[in-house]
Amino acid sequence: MLALVQALEPFASDPEALGLANEVMDGVLDVAVQPWREFVAAAGCSFDGRDDGPGLEALMRGRGLAERLSEDGGTSAAEEEEGGDDDDVDDDEDPAAAAFCNQWLDAVGLAATGRLLERTMRIPRLGAVGARHLAADLSYVMNVFTALGVAGHPHPLLGYVSRLVEMEPGELRSRIERRKGGDGGDASSEELEVIKRIELRIAYIRSV
């Protein structure tokens, strides 16, 4: 992905060639699909064999998750909108250049987020010290995404996982029990299943 951007950079710096560079970027989000597919698998889900369809795309984009997870300690919708405001400022200055930059930053951000979540799901055990370190690492990544100002970043699942790894054991157990009772808010069945699996996995590696 970085090599592609470096190859296109000379064209992107030329206003006349920028449109051509943007055309080449069509479909660039495909680079983020594999990390998210592996994250879903690591969480123990499969989307009924449709793990490359609209369900995965919705999960990658956090559609239907922001409001649900803001109640549970994830990234709030207001925080996401705040990130989007920065994009508007850049677009006013140079819309075409901003579109190019935001497009590949979005793809890189989604791929990195998917890979980070996948690696988190594969942690075998997590003690109190490790949980604090992981929460700090997730917070750092979220701050980087916030500083970039790309709409939709940081992904709401990053904030939610960060809270889960340090959540009081009793609260985490209660949350899991509520999910069993059908507490899913507006999230789709596929998204809700991923949330449930994340909670169960975090509880397992923390020995809760």
For residue range 180-194, list pLDDT tens digits in order: 876 555 556 788 889
Mean pLDDT, rounded, for 170-178 = 93
Per-domain boundaries in the chain: 2-6+16-205
Is the pLDDT at 97 greater than 80? The verdict is: no
Q: What is the pLDDT of residues 38-84, one digit of tens each?
A: 999 999 987 655 555 678 888 998 877 866 675 555 544 334 444 44
Buried b (16+ CB within 10 A) or exposed e, 27-46: ebbeebbebbbbbbebbebe
Average pLDDT, the chain: 79
